[in-house]
């Protein structure tokens, strides 16, 4: 076993057999290995595995559970409705105009330009109106549909639905 330098003025250490084999810089900044190398390797492996599980959780696809379906009323349950008149004015000719309220579906078929009106039943509990307009001609030009709803005892509601191309939008009514 070699234990240090044999020449005068040279320093030795337990890590290096002679000071001449290592520079003073290395001797000052690299100490002897403390602790078991197997233990250090085990700690590093545990840290890598833990980081792997963390990144696996962050990059995994989101859980896409189906949203619960809306509860539809049973046939024997009465829905409180608001009877209203609806007028739809279009900026162009349309194939179909569909209005969906929570208490019914209304379709104006093979319509041209103009104003269309009908009676509309709106659920009192959840007053929402959805409109879908399929234009007669395929276009990406700016089009609009003006909807006016008149309910007895309520203020007249007017809203413009606008889109480039077909209109498919909804609005919560203030009733």
State pLDDT tens for residues 138-147: 877 788 889 9
Residue 10 has pLDDT above 90, yes or no: no
Residue 132 has pLDDT above 70, yes or no: yes
Instruction: Tally the domains of the chain.
Output: 2
Q: Average pLDDT, whole number, for the chain? A: 76
Contact status, residue 147 vs residue 86, Cβ threshold 8 Å: yes
Residue 170's pLDDT band (boundaries 50, 70, 90)? confident
Q: Give 94's strand partners.
A: 111, 135
Residue 42 lies in a domain: yes
Q: CA 28, CA 84: separation in Å to the nearest integer?
A: 90
Residue 66 lies in a domain: no
Statement to judge: residues 85 and 50 lie in one domain = no
pTM: 0.53
Residue 168 lies in a domain: yes
Statement to judge: residues 91 and 49 lie in one domain = no
pLDDT in tens, 61-104: 776 666 666 666 566 667 788 888 888 888 888 888 888 887 77
Residue 72 lies in a domain: no
Residue 147 lies in a domain: yes
Residue 109 lies in a domain: yes
Classify residue 149 as exposed, middle or buried by CB count within 10 Å of its CB (0-12, 13-18, 19+). buried
Contact status, residue 143 vs residue 162, Cβ threshold 8 Å: yes
Looking at residue 15, its pLDDT comes to: 54
Q: CA 88, CA 99: separation in Å to the nearest integer?
A: 10
Statement to judge: residues 88 and 148 lie in one domain = yes
Statement to judge: residues 103 and 155 lie in one domain = yes
Statement to judge: residues 31 and 107 lie in one domain = no
Q: CA 163, CA 78: separation in Å to the nearest integer?
A: 36
Residue 40 lies in a domain: yes
Q: What percent of the chain has pLDDT over 90?
A: 11
Contact status, residue 108 vs residue 97, Cβ threshold 8 Å: yes
Sequence-distant (6+) residues with CB within 8 A of 126 are: 102
Residue 73 lies in a domain: no
Residue 166's domain comprises 81-172
């Amino acid at each position: 076993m070699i234990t240090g330098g044999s020449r005068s003025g040279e320093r030795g250490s337990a890590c290096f057999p002679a000071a001449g084999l290592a520079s003073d810089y290395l001797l000052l900044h690299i100490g002897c290995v403390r602790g078991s190398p197997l233990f250090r390797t085990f700690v590093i492996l545990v840290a890598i595995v833990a980081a792997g599980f963390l990144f696996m959780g962050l990059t995994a696809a989101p859980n896409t559970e189906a949203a619960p379906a809306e509860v539809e009323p049973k046939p024997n349950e009465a829905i409180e409705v608001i009877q209203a008149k609806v007028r739809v004015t279009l900026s162009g000719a349309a194939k179909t105009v569909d209005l969906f309220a929570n208490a019914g579906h209304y379709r104006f078929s093979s319509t041209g330009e103009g104003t269309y009106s009908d009676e509309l039943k709106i659920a009192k509990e959840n007053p929402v109106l959805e409109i879908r307009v399929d234009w007669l001609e395929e276009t990406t030009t700016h089009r609009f549909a003006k909807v006016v709803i008149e309910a007895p005892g309520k203020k007249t509601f007017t809203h413009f639905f606008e889109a480039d191309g077909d209109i498919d939008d909804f609005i919560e009514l203030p009733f």
